[in-house]
Each structure stands twice: as structure tokens, then as C-alpha cells.
Amino acid sequence: MKINVEYLKRFVAFDLDDGALKELLAGIGLETAEMQSSGGETVLDIETTPNRPDWLSHYGIAREIAAKNARLRFTPMDLTAVPLPAAAGDFAIRIEDASDCRRYSGCIVRDLQVRESPPEVQRLLLSLGLRPINDIVDASNLVMMTCGQPLHIFDLEQLQGGQVRVRRARKGETLRLLDEREVALDERHLLIADASRPLALAGIMGGLASGISAGTRHVFIESACFEPVVIRLGAHALGLKTDASYRFERGMDAEATLPALQMALLLLSRSQGRALAPAFFQDVYPRPQSRPAIRLPKAFPAQLTGMEIPAAACAAILGRLGFRLGDEGDHWQVTPPSHRVDAEYKEDLVEEIARIHGYEHLQGEMPLSANPVLRVDRERVIVQRLKYQLADAGFNEVINYVFQAPEENLMADPHEAPLVLKNPLGRDFSVLKNSLLVGLLKNTAANANQGLERVALFEIGKAFAQYGGQVGESRRLAVSAYGLQQRKDWRLAAREFDFPWFKSQLAAVGRRLRLELDFRRQAHPLFSPHCSFAVEVAGRGCGWAGEVAAEPRRLSRLDRPVFAAELDLSALVAAAPESGFRPWNRFPAARRDFTFLMPTAVSYEELRAAVERLRPAALESYELTDVFRGDAVPAGQVSFSMGFTYRAGERTLTGEEVNAAHREFTGRLAAQLGLIQR
């Protein structure tokens, strides 16, 4: 809201320099976005809030200054010289539905000559960012900027049938607006119409045909109060936002229509150079506005703010703001002024008191009472630990937007219908992510293309899906690695990331939670068919891991392998067992090694499955200790070495027992898989 400081002083005679004025306003909740001074005039651009439509005028700001400074008084324009006689005539105003329009006041003024506004009015309008047009249009604009009430002035000779009607549009009706746009109307739109046609979009914009032109002689001036929601929906439906609609959708003062009409007559009298008297005046006010009084206990302001403000001071502040107080002993009955459409609760009154009294008087105090039993968020604690673990292993955390391009969702799941934003910022941000992987791949590419040799990343964030009518979001941990695991230096050889390393890191994430992650071969659209795994915990899928396939890698212009995984964090946390003491076996273990040739057609996964299947009771654990392919190994074979650890629950196993068990077990293993012991 632009405020001309010189003009403002006509309504409250303060004596402050611009800086002090700005500070005073900020102290009561009016931030100055911009201050411009030129030719001795200062114009403030003041930020107002949606709850205070009364601030959208010079009167509104003047009232606030007078309320803050008890020595000052708000002095509105003197309108006593402009009477509004109840002059009936061959004209009529009708409101069809009182729930659309609270009040409609209008008058007819005859025999005008359209001319330029006086220079000082033109200058004032220009300073407020409005283009002077002619004295009639300018008068309506100046009234709005002065007291906040939007007016609309019609060329009377364009009105047919001697009437204006406030009614809803009928489907199929059209109207050419002042900005020359032709709009198609329906029942959502509230119109000002004459006997036969739409004239204007009520509270939003006038029609071109009934507007003021150079030849206009007689005018009909409208000063009305429309229902905020009706104006808002109508303006939204047409994508329109005007000074008038901005004010009406916030709520205007129904008591302000008549003074605004008088002000318009006063301004026109000045520009026309003669006292104008309306030839017709009618005020349709179906349900005069009445505000219920608010009960404000006298102790409540101190109770809610913690500030000791004497009751007399509270009453004085509310009084200066135009509230009427009825003293009823321990409380007041407070009636807000008609322009304060925001005041509804006793808390609203306390804010007024605190705001004018000054927030600077507020002392800080720690609340000591609120001590609920703390619920510790187990997931947060676990996730924090995982983050440290990943960072310690050299992964860097990234954070991405939750939206991406539709084809990026398809990369992770070509069959799933995405969750689409109705009003995205652009196609690239139009669907909610079904996976964090594509984002990580993009981050990897961006860094690699900057020449970074080691790009190891992780992200914790949400992925979204819809099941039927429901939207689900799951918290994911995504991890990726590209390039060098270790840079070459004087003591260490360079090492590239490889899948075994990557898988080990994921396994360590699982072990942190005391979970064993199983990697089961399963195709995933982002991963290479040779290296694509479903990650499972106790047989339940909880994510994916693999090497990024050639095509997505090529699209990202990455020339080395990328390994990536995405895990459902909440599922992992839910599966993680609580810690607890378990006694360990105190009897000694015995270890036996087994080195053998295995056909390359058999995978380790199959070997492992066979071990599990044939597992002797005393086998406690096993590990792969060596994998070798070389000259000494026949083609089509791989040499494996495994270590098997045997232990019995309640006694020490003898060497013979272990040997026998091991011999039988490895013999059956060899027979089933075609292994050759070395």
C-alpha cells in the first residue's frame, strides 16, 4: 500500500522525520518495504497483512498513528458540506440476493463536463502509482486511496431501464471489461446489470461500454460492500486481481459506503468548480451490520502477555483504536469499530493492546511448567547413527527437491502412475519422486562433470506413491558411489569403487541395526541386468542395490561405473531388534578350511544356498576367504577358499568329531554342486 506522507499528514498531524515515521509504523506492525523521496515528497510502500483491509488507505494508517501517539488525533475529511438527501427518482437499485452484497449505495450526478483533475490531484495519484485519467475516474481512485472504499462510476446514459441490479450472471452471458477483455460468465460471477445486460463485474472491474468516456455527461456512482468470498471466487475464476477485488475479498466496512460517496461528490465539486448535488440517491442496506461485543476480562491482557499493563492503559489504547468499551466490573464489553473486520476474539483485543503498548516492553521468561514425559524418537537416533557411519565411510549427504520430471520417475519405475502436481513450476518439477535414485545420479553427474574423481553420496528423503485413492510417502536412504574409492598417493594404490566394496558398505549399514541384509538377484530398470539386486531383511523386500545400467549412465555422461542403492529407512528401523544381553558360547570353536574348484556357471548365491541347505548342526559360521582365477585354474572353473567354524552348544568338540562333520558336509556340498577339492 502506497502512502504519500504529506497527504497522510492531512489526516493526522504528526511531526516526525521519515526515519522516525518508519520506525513508529514498524513498531505497530506496519513494515515499510520501500521508501521513496522526490521533490520534497516521501512515499512509503507499506506491507499490509490480509487480516487488516482497513490498512489499505491513508485513513487506516492515520488511525494507527493516532492510536500509537496519544497526543495526536485522527481527523478525516470534513464532509458536512456534502449532504446526501434521500432523493428518489425514476431510478432504482436492487440487490437480488442479500448474501452477495451487504450494502449498495448509489447516486446520480448530472451535467458534468469530463475534464482533467487539478494538478495537485494528478500529482498525488501519480505518487501513489495511479495514472490520472479524468476528474471522474480520478475522484473514484482518490476516494479509494483516501478512505479505502472502492467506488465504481458508470456513464448513466449507457444504463438501460433506469435501474441497476446486483445479481449473479447467467451461463452464456458475456461482458467486455474495461481492459477490453471479453469474458464468458456463469453463476459464480456477481454482476452489476441494468434492466437487460451486464454492466460490470461487481467489486472487480467495470465494463467497457458503461465506462466514463470523454463525452460522458451524467454519471451513476456506486459505493457498495460486497461479500468477500463471492468477490474472491469470481476474481479467481477469471484470473483477475484488481485494487477493488483485493480490498473486497479482504472485507470492507459496510458503514463506509456513504462517507465515500460524499467524498466523491466533494472531489468532483472541486474539479467541476461548483457544488454538486445528487439528482438521485438510494442506500440499499438489507441487514445493517451489527458487531457482537467481545467480553474481555480485565486480567486477561496480563495473563496472555505476561506484561503488566494497567487496566486504564488497556482501555485507553482500545479507545484510541475506536473500540467502544462498556465497563462491567471485572471485565469490559468491547465493541469493535465497523472498519475492524478482523476483531473477533478477546485475544485479538490483547494483540491490539500489546501492539500499541509496545512489544519492546515484553520481558523474556522461561516457561517452567510444561514438562511432559519425553518420548524419544527411536528412528531419529538410529538414522543419526547411520548418517555418521556413512559420512565416516566417505559418503557426502545431499538434499534434493521432492519433485522431478515425469521421465525421471519412469526411469525408476516404468509402470507406475506418478503423483502429478496440478500447478508445477515447470515440467521438470511436475511429479513427486517415486525414488531418490535418479536425483542421486544427477548429483553424481553434476559433480563428476566438474572433474571430481570421487563422488560418493547419500540422501535421506521421502519417496511418494499412490495406492488407490491414497498417497503414501516412505522415508528412504539412497546411497551411490562413482569413481575413485581411494586416490593414489605415495603409499596407497588408486582403487576404483566396485560392487563388492559398495555391497560391504550396505551390509555395514544393516549390521549397524543388527540386521543381515540379503541381496537377491532381481531386475530393476535403473540397474544393469548383471548387477541388480533386491535387498531383503528376513525375506521382506526393503530396497534395491546394483550397478547403474549403461543407458542412464550414458544419459548422465558418466564414463565410469556408478553403484547405487535405495533402502526403505522406516522398514529397516522397524525391523531392527532392540539391544539385549545374550550369553555367548564359552566352549572353544574349531575351524576347518575348504579350498575347491567350482564351475563358473554356479554363482556364490547358489553355493551359499547349498551351504544353508546342508548345514551340519555344529556349523556355527562360515566365510569366503579367497576367490582365485588364474593360470593354475582350469578354464570354466573358479577356485574358492572357505573357512567353516564348528562349535557345539554344551561341550568341547573333539578333533575327530569336527573332521568327520566337515568331511561329510563338504563331500555332500561337492557332490551337489560339482566341486573339486584342491
Partner 1 sequence: MIDELKKEIEGARRSFGHELESIQSPEQLAALKERYLSRKKGVVSQFLARLKGCLPAEKPLAGQAINQFKEFVEAALSAAGAAGFAAAASGAWDDPSLPASELPVGRFHLIADIQGRIEDIFLQLGYEIAAGPEVERDEYNFTKLNFPEHHPARDEQDTFFLEGHDDLLLRTHTSPMQVRYMLGHRPPLKIISPGKAFRKDDPDSTHSPCFHQVEGLLVDRGIHFSHLKGTLEAFCRSFYGPDIVLRFRPGYFPFTEPSAEVDISCFLCAGRKTDCRVCKGTGWLEILGSGMVHPQVLRNCGIDPEEYSGFAFGMGIERVAMVKYGVPDLRLLYENDLRLLGQFG
* Binds partner 1 by CB under 8 A, chosen from 86, 214, 312, 370: 370
403 binds partner 1 (CB under 8 A): yes
β-pairing, 540-548 vs 190-193, is unpaired
Closest alpha carbon to 506 in 434, 456, 556: 456
Least separation in angstroms between CB 71 and partner 1: 21
Give how far the C-alpha of residue 554 lies from the chain's centroid of Cα atoms, to the nearest Å.
Answer: 35
Q: Is 228 among the residues that bind partner 1 (CB under 8 A)?
A: yes
3-state SS string for 295-353:
EEECCHHHHHHCCCCCHHHHHHHHHHCCCEEEECCCEEEEECCCCCCCCCCHHHHHHHH
Residue 530 contacts partner 1 per CB under 8 A:
no
Q: Which is nearer to partner 1, 454 or 668 (CB)?
A: 454
Contact 38, 18 (CB under 8 A): no
* The three cell numbers locating residue 539: 525375506
Minimum distance from CB of 371 to partner 1 (Å)? Answer: 6
Query: Within positions 166 to 195, which residues make up the interface with partner 1, using CB under 8 A?
Result: none
> Do 204 and 169 form a contact (C-beta atoms < 8 A)?
no
The reply to whether 486 sits near partner 1 by the rule CB under 8 A is yes
Question: Which C-beta is closer to partner 1: that of 132 or that of 336?
Answer: 336
Q: Least distance to partner 1 from the beta carbon of 345, Å?
A: 6
The CB density around residue 424, as the number of other CB atoms within 10 Å, is 13
Site for partner 1 in 607-666 (CB under 8 A): none
> Of these, 443, 528, 532, 637, which contacts partner 1 (CB under 8 A)?
443
Q: Does 232 help bind partner 1 (rule: CB under 8 A)?
A: yes
CB of 395 to partner 1, least distance (A): 4
Burial class (CB in 10 A: 0-12, 13-18, 19+), 225: buried
Q: Which stretch binds partner 1 (CB under 8 A): 117-125, 143-151, 485-493, 603-611?
A: 485-493
Q: Choose, by CB under 8 A, the member of 447, 480, 505, 666 that binds partner 1.
A: 447
**Contact flag: residue 456 with partner 1 (CB under 8 A):** yes
Selected from 487, 514, 530, 629, the binder of partner 1 by CB under 8 A is: 487
> For residues 321-350, which are near partner 1 according to CB under 8 A?
345, 347-348, 350
- Residues 27 to 46: which contact partner 1 by CB under 8 A? 27-29, 31
Give the x-and-dash track for 243-262 against partner 1 (CB under 8 A).
Answer: ------xx------------
| 275 counts as binding partner 1 under rule CB under 8 A | no
What grid cell was written down for 264?
A: 466523491
Q: Which of 184, 237, 425, 601 binds partner 1 (CB under 8 A)?
A: 425
CB 154 within 8 A of CB 160: no
List residues bridging with 403 in a β-sheet: 432
419 binds partner 1 (CB under 8 A): yes
Please report how the helices 311-320 and 346-357 are oriented relative to each other, as an axis angle in degrees rounded to 10: 90
Q: Which is nearer to partner 1, 49 or 289 (CB)?
A: 49
The rounded distance, in Å, linking the Cα atoms of 396 and 410 is 26
493 binds partner 1 (CB under 8 A): no
Under rule CB under 8 A, residue 398 binds partner 1: yes
Cα distance between residue 519 and residue 516, in whole Å: 10
Q: Which stretch binds partner 1 (CB under 8 A): 176-184, 318-326, 379-387, 510-518?
A: 379-387
Q: Residue written as cell 563358473? A: 600
The residue range among 20-28, 505-513, 600-608, 652-660 that interacts with partner 1, by the rule CB under 8 A, is 20-28
To partner 1, the closest distance from the beta carbon of 387 in angstroms equals 6
Residue 236, classed as helix, strand or coil, is helix
What residues contact residue 467 under an 8 Å CB cut-off, 6+ apart? none
d(CA 250, CA 203): 12
Q: Which of residues 457-476 bind partner 1 (CB under 8 A)?
A: 457-458, 460-462, 464, 466, 469, 471, 473
Residue in the block written with cell 521468561: 365
Site for partner 1 in 296-325 (CB under 8 A): 303-307
Instruction: Find the shortest distance in angstroms from Cβ 629 to partner 1.
Output: 30
List binders of partner 1 among 584-613 (CB under 8 A): none
C-alpha distance from residue 658 to each of 282, 647, 665 (Å): 110, 9, 10
Residue 478 near residue 436 (C-beta atoms within 8 A): yes
Task: For residue 412, give the nearest of 401, 422, 404, 420 by alpha carbon.
Answer: 404
Residue 432 interacts with partner 1 (CB under 8 A): yes or no: yes
User: Binders of partner 1: how many residues, by CB under 8 A?
Assistant: 94
